Structure 1
Amino acid sequence: MEYLMFCFVFSCWVKFANCVYSTDAPQAPAPIPKDKLLVLTVATEETDGFLRFMQSANYFNYTVKVLGMGETWKGGDVGRSIGGGQKVRLLKEAMEALADQEDLVVLSVDSYDLVFSGGPEEILRKFQQANHKVLFAAEGLIWPDKKLAEKYPAIRSGKRYLNSGGIIGFAPYINRVVSQWNLHDNDDDQLFYTKMYLDPLQRQTLNMTLDHKCQIFQNLNGAVDEVLLKFGTDRVRVRNTVYDSLPVVVHGNGNTKIYLNSLANYVPNTWNYELGCSHCDDDIVDLSQLKEYPNVLVGVFIEQPTPFLPEFFKRLLTLDYPKDKLNIFVHNNEVYHEKHIQKFWQENRNVFNTFKVVGPEENLSQGEARNMGMDICRKDATCDYYFSLDTDVMLTNRQTLKLLIEQNRKIIGPLVTRHGKLWSNFWGALSLDGYYARSEDYVDIVQRKRVGMWNIPFMAHVYLVKGSALRNELKERNVFVLEKLDPDMALCRNVREMTSHREKDSPSPESFHMLRPPKGVFMYITNRHDFGRLISTANYNISHYNNDLWQIFQNPVDWKEKYIHQNYTQIFTENYMEEPCPDVFWFPVFSEKACDEIVEEMEHYGSWSGGKHEDKRISGGYETVPTDDIHMRQIGYDKEWLHFIREFISPITLKVFSGYFTKGYSIMNFVVKYTPERQAYLRPHHDSSTFTINIALNNKDTDFQGGGCRFHRYNCSLNSPRKGWSFMHPGRLTHLHEGLPTTNGTRYIAISFIDP
């Protein structure tokens, strides 16, 4: 009995197995070969957006056929109004030759605002999984007729409305769709497809559906918050977090083109963490292979009082670029700076090819002046590049101009930032009202944690523009003036949204529809090198004689470069100091420029004390050992001087007086003037300080004779022949000292009694 039961069960299992594995059972369709996918796109011009589209297509080895290249665009400004019918007409014409290829899959996509995130195999696999003959992109917003919303089929989840920027289907079916087009080039393509899709009979007959959950098409309009970047080892994907999908086609439709530019800085292989920038060296210009360097017009703009302007011009002069290839245009809006420009022009007028200055007497606005500079290059066929440079930019990299030219972009700027801050010359994103918004990658780019070239929506202060772009895509004049925007914002908005005006041969009102799609010239910022920094012009007070002296807080790096001795850092790296007397240390601290300007500032103030005992400037009103001096407080420099002590003197104190930690505090800070006629020497005394610094502000034997300091306890004298050098010594008890007579000329020293 058990044996019969076993035989029965075994025969049932065999029959079941034969049924499951029968060759008559449904089989999964064979994958469509990738050579059976043809991409059709419409582009009448090779814009930056089109070239980016082709770059992403070539990366994945798509077969692309471009329709309409060189034609006049008659499809309207599709970014702002209805239109785009010309795309359907071109697609209809192309499909007539493909209609009988039943195994051919056609992918019709836009090009100016679209990139691929995946390859042909993936898109074909997902198309097969959709199990329809025609698949349209979908979006959450309806356009162009909101009244049609209620006619759309209800769906449980996903995006409900059709978008015409992406269509995929078998060739015969795509042909049957577009063959119904009988409208005009300026009619709306999306409305045409929408009405066809909303017809239940058409939808069933042509087996059409939408890509509701963004498996293939990701339209960004209304969906920016759904999208984030997914970094892989070889490339970067766009991920839809709502549907957990990895779309293959990313479309910056509507007002999301700036966001698409940001995504395309990474997708598909533009930049990733492992390889960095993959395309930074594509199409570069090798200057060494050129017969001669390109001609560059440098536009220099001084729109407000700017610190360190002479230093700016020195850096311009030291750019590593043939000076006979540089033409200089300067717009100066500040009378205060005329003396600086005049001095630079007198010393270097024969250095550059040309040198033109437009001064404040012309009464030009910023926008007008910048238009003038750009127009000079635009009108000159020999002007290869226009280099716009604001005077708050300190280019520390002498190769800057060469490096920008080599990158071969229509508009590119070097990254410059304010020292120690995140303030830079670019924005990574825009707010809804068109102003600053921080992009996710802004901080990493500014801090150079991500190094490359970045397509950005706004730049200012310094950038290079191709002359050919000025005479073509950017040929419209007055680009720095737009509504109520400042000149930089006006330029960037015009560049981003640059659209050709009416065609010359179509002056009629209907020529509104002859507008071409926005050219969308891309602006790039590069942080591949350290180029320099931005200085702060805020609160720059020009009421002093030497105003840059007061910039120690606002622009500490530039202040240090100008005023601190070039060998100062060697004090710590190479023990670059001397000890001429016991516990008297001698070291470099001020540059010659600092010494000269401090002396000039004091003489400009002019109220020297006269070396009298009665002194209302100090507590008690009586000075035991008076000098002929001016206090730092009198010229409004006491806070700056104390900061100088803490930043540059205190570290030396720690080095030479081991175990003593100074507060860097001083009440008595002053410049002393020794002359045989007024006060030639100072009698022996102790200073009311823990330690004292004494900085020589001019040169012995050149500016004066005699002078120096004698320490009685050690019978040791210091003649102080070195301008800008300071000696430091204890103030009380051990270091009784006197000022030796100045026998001729005028001797200046800066004194501080520290930690009284």
Structure 2
Amino acid sequence: MFSCLLLGLLALFFFQSSVSAEHRRLSPENLLVITAATEETDGFNRFMRTAREFNYTVKVLGLGEQWKGGDVARTVGGGQKVRWLKAELLKHSDNKDLVVLFVDSYDVIFASGPEELLSKFSRLAHRVVFSAEGFCWPDQRLASKYPEVHSGKRFLNSGGFIGFSTDLSSMVQQWKYKDNDDDQLFYTKIYLDKKQRAKFNMTLDHRSRIFQNLNGAVEEVVLKFERSKVRARNVAFDTLPVIVHGNGPTKLQLNYLGNYVPSAWTFETGCGICDEDLLFFNEAPVGSLLRLKPSPAPCIIAPMLSKHGKLWSNFWGALSPEGFYSRSEDYIEIVQAKRIGLWNVPYITQAYLIKGSVLRSKLSQVSLYVEEGMDPDMVFCRSIRDQVTAKNINKHSQTENYSKIFEDENNFVEQPCPDVYWFPAFSEKMCDHLVETMEHNGQWSGGSHKDERLAGGYENVPTVDIHMTQIEFEKEWLKFLKEYIAPVTEKLYPGYFPKAQAIMNFVVRYRPDEQPSLRPHHDSSTFTINVALNSKGSDYEGGGCRFLRYDCQVESPRKGWSFMHPGRLTHYHEGLPTTRGTRYIMVSFVDP
């Protein structure tokens, strides 16, 4: 009796060891992600971006084909996905080492990589694992047939599952139904069959270790900011799921999570996707504009507009259950420019760009603005949410190093001459846009003493320039001086509290054949800022500024960096000759 028991225990030990060894051998090279999508929507592009970030190998089924699987957003359907998967898995049915992950794409994002995924799959110690949710869909009468669970979600969801290709292939070969029949009901009946559940060694991810379905669990999921990445954390089970699925009516919450997960925005790096899919072009007469690549750029994009000193803006970060305004957790920090990025939001108004192809196709048969009992902008945004994805862009033109002036003055503020400070102010794009705007305006002064733009009609130290008033940008520029330059002034000149007022704000152009230099002079200001708008060497040669009293000069201004120096009495200076090309600078005489 003892020997039989011992043999039984040894057999169990070796069986468990073999299973564990099988799972320990899993490697990312033997993982294939399969998804289904008939077109490249914003949701699909978001899914693929997160897949690329973690180096997943993805096979897309159905791209370019007509969808015949029914309106799964409102009723049952989705069988077409099983038919596609059935055909694809036949190609891998003999590969015993291959692990296949099947997920939806339009409403799914990856939060972590293949190593963590396979490790968690191994620890579950089953050959097929389906995601789980709190609702029995599509047939609630089957709820009583599900195995009881002591903790976690009880019911199967077909939006994500993982298993060995041999088992999954054998499972989906049973499909013999129509394209618009329900895929989740098909998998549910297999799982509820005890013999098949044992045959395929199936289980559900009850505690969201791998799959997080949001429907019915929105309140359980919060953002977890880690170093240079963001995870979705399930606080009910204290798990960090690898895959987040916005199933059912939770698309807006998925959009909110996707604004951060896995690295769309982090505290360390800021916006991680703002420079993707952008092209810049210069075509007369419109000057410099932002051009979106035909794909995969968002279908609709809007600027972030807000009222000065107030929390009013042209977007909503969230919606109430009734479809009206609700404040998202990050709304205030976005409006106050503490978080600058590309945000997927449910409502925009006032100003936006829409792809013409979208208006001519998806939105051509939709009543965009009219519905009884609703404001036109709300009707418009709901139509957009139903058909495409609206995005709100909030990218300011300051250089990314501006805020570091206050964190680390020694590394981000230089002093090339006595009481002359040099610090980052503009991004290169801002510099380019300002120069192009001025050249498009073209109303450069002649560089003579006679100047009708001034109250007295006389300029003591004339330059070839265009004032900010000429391009109707004076108010915006004064706001820039007050909000960005004044704090730097207070830090660099302790005890002085600037009013940040300026009458003279202008862009100067220096050319060898026009006005190459500027004679020695004092500025009519308490202090002056002078921002270099292009680069020495590539755009021009020569140039710079010399402070005569200190016999000190700066000959290589950096594009986007600003000089700040006292105006009257002490800092008598001159503009050094530009010998080639064209040099542009932005000048303000502050607190005259």
TM band (smaller chain) = 0.5 to 0.7
- Segments of 5+ residues of structure 2 without an aligned counterpart are 1-9, 399-429, 431-471, 487-496, 504-592
Does residue 1:528 correspond to 2:396, yes or no?
yes
- How far apart in 2 are the matches of 1:455 and 1:159? 29
- How far apart in 2 are the matches of 1:132 and 1:126? 11
- How far apart in 2 are the matches of 1:180 and 1:23? 33
CA deviation map 1:449-506 (0-9, x unaligned) = 00011010100111111223322333335311235321111111111111xxxxxxxx
Please tell me whether Structure 1 or Structure 2 has the larger radius of gyration of its CA atoms.
1
TM-score (normalizing by structure 1):
0.50
Aligned partner letter, 1:321: V
Q: Find the counterpart in structure 2 of residue 174 from structure 1.
A: 168
Give the SS at the match of 1:124: helix
Q: Find the counterpart in structure 2 of residue 125 from structure 1.
A: 119
Question: Residue 99 of structure 2 contacts residue 164 of structure 2 at CA under 8 Å; is this kept in 1?
Answer: yes
2:71 to 77, 80, 98: 77
- How far apart in 2 are the matches of 1:94 and 1:191? 21
Does residue 1:240 correspond to 2:234, yes or no?
yes
- How far apart in 2 are the matches of 1:34 and 1:88? 24
Q: How much does 1:126 deviate?
A: 0.7
- How far apart in 2 are the matches of 1:102 and 1:177? 15
- How far apart in 2 are the matches of 1:80 and 1:31? 42
Q: Find the counterpart in structure 1 of residue 348 from structure 2.
A: 459
Q: Find the counterpart in structure 1 of residue 549 from structure 2.
A: none
In 2 relative to 1, CA 428–118 (structure 1 residues): closer, same or farther, beyond 3 Å? Answer: same
1:442 to 331, 337, 344: 331
- How far apart in 2 are the matches of 1:23 and 1:146? 41
Question: Residue 287 of structure 1 contacts residue 406 of structure 1 at CA under 8 Å; is this kept in 2?
Answer: no
In 2 relative to 1, CA 461–100 (structure 1 residues): closer, same or farther, beyond 3 Å? Answer: same
- How far apart in 2 are the matches of 1:433 and 1:478? 20
Does residue 1:53 correspond to 2:18, yes or no?
no
TM-score (normalizing by structure 2):
0.63
Instruction: Spell out the pairing of 1:288-327 with structure 2 (5 A cutoff).
Output: 288=282, 292=283, 321=286
Q: How much does 1:571 deviate?
A: 10
Give the SS at the match of 1:228: strand
In 2 relative to 1, CA 405–91 (structure 1 residues): closer, same or farther, beyond 3 Å? Answer: closer
- How far apart in 2 are the matches of 1:561 and 1:267? 37
Give the SS at the match of 2:121: helix
In 2 relative to 1, CA 205–529 (structure 1 residues): closer, same or farther, beyond 3 Å? Answer: same
CA deviation map 1:653-682 (0-9, x unaligned) = xxxxxxxxxxxxxxxxxxxxxxxxxxxxxx
Q: Find the counterpart in structure 2 of residue 62 from structure 1.
A: 56
- How far apart in 2 are the matches of 1:242 and 1:527? 35
- How far apart in 2 are the matches of 1:23 and 1:200? 25
CA deviation map 1:146-191 (0-9, x unaligned) = 1111111001100000000001000011011111111100001111
Question: Residue 211 of structure 2 contacts residue 241 of structure 2 at CA under 8 Å; is this kept in 1?
Answer: yes
Question: Residue 404 of structure 1 contacts residue 412 of structure 1 at CA under 8 Å; is this kept in 2?
Answer: no
Give the SS at the match of 1:281: coil
Q: Find the counterpart in structure 2 of residue 220 from structure 1.
A: 214
Aligned partner letter, 1:146: Q
Instruction: Spell out the pairing of 1:502-541 with structure 2 (5 A cutoff).
Output: 520-529=388-397
Give the SS at the match of 2:232: strand
Give the SS at the match of 2:85: helix
Give the SS at the match of 2:278: coil
Give the SS at the match of 2:156: strand
1:496 to 377, 385, 396: 385
- How far apart in 1 are the matches of 2:39 and 2:281? 28
- How far apart in 1 are the matches of 2:201 and 2:107? 28
2:133 to 136, 139, 145: 139
Question: Residue 347 of structure 2 contacts residue 390 of structure 2 at CA under 8 Å; is this kept in 1?
Answer: no
In 2 relative to 1, CA 406–446 (structure 1 residues): closer, same or farther, beyond 3 Å? Answer: farther
- How far apart in 2 are the matches of 1:286 and 1:157? 53
Aligned partner letter, 1:419: H
Q: How much does 1:404 deviate?
A: 7.2
Q: Find the counterpart in structure 1 of residue 271 from structure 2.
A: 277
- How far apart in 1 are the matches of 2:500 and 2:364? 55
Give the SS at the match of 1:443: helix
Give the SS at the match of 1:66: strand
Q: Find the counterpart in structure 1 of residue 555 from structure 2.
A: none
Instruction: Spell out the pairing of 1:81-96 with structure 2 (5 A cutoff).
Output: 81-96=75-90
- How far apart in 2 are the matches of 1:109 and 1:51? 14
Give the SS at the match of 1:490: helix
Aligned partner letter, 1:465: I
Aligned partner letter, 2:148: A
Give the SS at the match of 2:168: helix
In 2 relative to 1, CA 406–181 (structure 1 residues): closer, same or farther, beyond 3 Å? Answer: closer
Q: Find the counterpart in structure 1 of residue 420 from structure 2.
A: none
- How far apart in 2 are the matches of 1:142 and 1:23? 38
Question: Residue 428 of structure 1 contacts residue 438 of structure 1 at CA under 8 Å; is this kept in 2?
Answer: yes
Instruction: Spell out the pairing of 1:345-424 with structure 2 (5 A cutoff).
Output: 402-403=289-290, 409-424=298-313
Question: Residue 404 of structure 1 contacts residue 414 of structure 1 at CA under 8 Å; is this kept in 2?
Answer: no
Q: How much does 1:525 deviate?
A: 3.2
- How far apart in 2 are the matches of 1:193 and 1:449? 46
Question: Residue 473 of structure 1 contacts residue 521 of structure 1 at CA under 8 Å; is this kept in 2?
Answer: no
- How far apart in 2 are the matches of 1:239 and 1:35? 27
Does residue 1:102 correspond to 2:93, yes or no?
no
Aligned partner letter, 1:252: G
In 2 relative to 1, CA 207–481 (structure 1 residues): closer, same or farther, beyond 3 Å? Answer: same
Aligned partner letter, 2:360: R
Aligned partner letter, 2:286: Y
- How far apart in 2 are the matches of 1:466 and 1:453? 17
Q: How much does 1:521 deviate?
A: 2.6
Q: How much does 1:200 deviate?
A: 1.0
CA deviation map 1:586-612 (0-9, x unaligned) = xxxxxxxxxxxxxxxxxxxxxxxxxxx
Aligned partner letter, 2:208: C
Question: Residue 279 of structure 2 contacts residue 291 of structure 2 at CA under 8 Å; is this kept in 1?
Answer: no
2:149 to 152, 155, 161: 155
Instruction: Spell out the pairing of 1:673-692 with structure 2 (5 A cutoff).
Output: none
Q: How much does 1:423 deviate?
A: 1.1
Give the SS at the match of 1:418: coil
Q: How much does 1:43 deviate?
A: 0.5
Question: Residue 456 of structure 1 contacts residue 525 of structure 1 at CA under 8 Å; is this kept in 2?
Answer: no
- How far apart in 1 are the matches of 2:366 and 2:126? 51
Q: How much does 1:231 deviate?
A: 1.0
Aligned length: 398
Aligned partner letter, 1:161: F
Give the SS at the match of 1:87: helix
- How far apart in 2 are the matches of 1:79 and 1:122? 31
Aligned partner letter, 1:51: N
In 2 relative to 1, CA 572–97 (structure 1 residues): closer, same or farther, beyond 3 Å? Answer: closer
- How far apart in 1 are the matches of 2:103 and 2:14? 40
In 2 relative to 1, CA 109–572 (structure 1 residues): closer, same or farther, beyond 3 Å? Answer: closer
In 2 relative to 1, CA 111–574 (structure 1 residues): closer, same or farther, beyond 3 Å? Answer: closer
- How far apart in 2 are the matches of 1:184 and 1:140? 27
2:185 to 164, 171, 191: 191
Q: Find the counterpart in structure 1 of residue 318 from structure 2.
A: 429
Q: Find the counterpart in structure 2 of residue 617 from structure 1.
A: none
CA deviation map 1:414-450 (0-9, x unaligned) = 1111222111110111111111111111011000000
- How far apart in 2 are the matches of 1:198 and 1:422? 52
Q: Find the counterpart in structure 1 of residue 244 from structure 2.
A: 250
Aligned partner letter, 2:394: T
Q: Find the counterpart in structure 2 of residue 230 from structure 1.
A: 224
- How far apart in 2 are the matches of 1:39 and 1:571? 59
Aligned partner letter, 1:40: I
Q: How much does 1:120 deviate?
A: 0.6
